[in-house]
Each structure stands twice: as C-alpha cells, then as structure tokens.
C-alpha cells in the first residue's frame, strides 16, 4: 500500500508534459467540424436531392391487368 502511495505522490509532483491531445486536440476538433460543415453545405446546395420523403402524390398506381 505504501508503494502505491509513493507512486501517487511522485506522479502528483511530476512536471506535466503536454501530449498529442494537449497540443493538437482543439485544432483537430475544429478541422473536423470545418470538413463536416463543408461537406454538408455541398450536399444540401449542389446535389439535386428531393428532401421530401413522402411518396404521396408522386407515385401513381399502375393499371390492373385482368
């Protein structure tokens, strides 16, 4: 148990070295958000997608053959 306490005390007084997430975390997050927004802006404005999902009024039944 003392070994665990010793390790905890040593780590508490150790200098914090920044890792990848400390250095680039916000930059990666902002870059991902920018790509996400760019792609969806393109999809919504440039592709000819009909966004109404209801088929009512667009589908006419075929004549029944006897």
What pLDDT, in 10s, does the model give residues 11-61? 666 677 888 888 888 999 999 999 999 999 998 888 776 666 666 666 677
Q: How far is residue 31's CA from residue 52's CA, in Å, rounded to a whole number?
A: 31
**62 pLDDT band (50/70/90 cuts)?**
confident
∠ CA 48-52-55, rounded to 5°: 115
**Tokens describing residue 21:** 């997430």
Alpha carbon dihedral 17, 22, 24, 28, in 10-degree steps, equals 160
Q: What's the predicted TM-score (pTM) here? A: 0.48
* The pLDDT of residue 37: 97
pLDDT score recorded for residue 35: 97
Give Dmax over CA atoms of the chain in angstroms: 90
Look-up: residue for tokens 């914090």? 16
């Amino acid at each position: 148990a003392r070994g665990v306490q010793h390790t905890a005390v040593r780590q508490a007084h150790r200098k914090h070295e920044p890792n990848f997430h400390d250095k680039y975390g916000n930059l990666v997050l902002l870059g991902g958000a920018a790509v996400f927004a760019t792609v969806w802006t393109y999809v919504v404005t440039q592709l000819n997608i009909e966004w109404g999902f209801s088929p009512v009024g667009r589908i006419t039944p075929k004549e029944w053959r006897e």
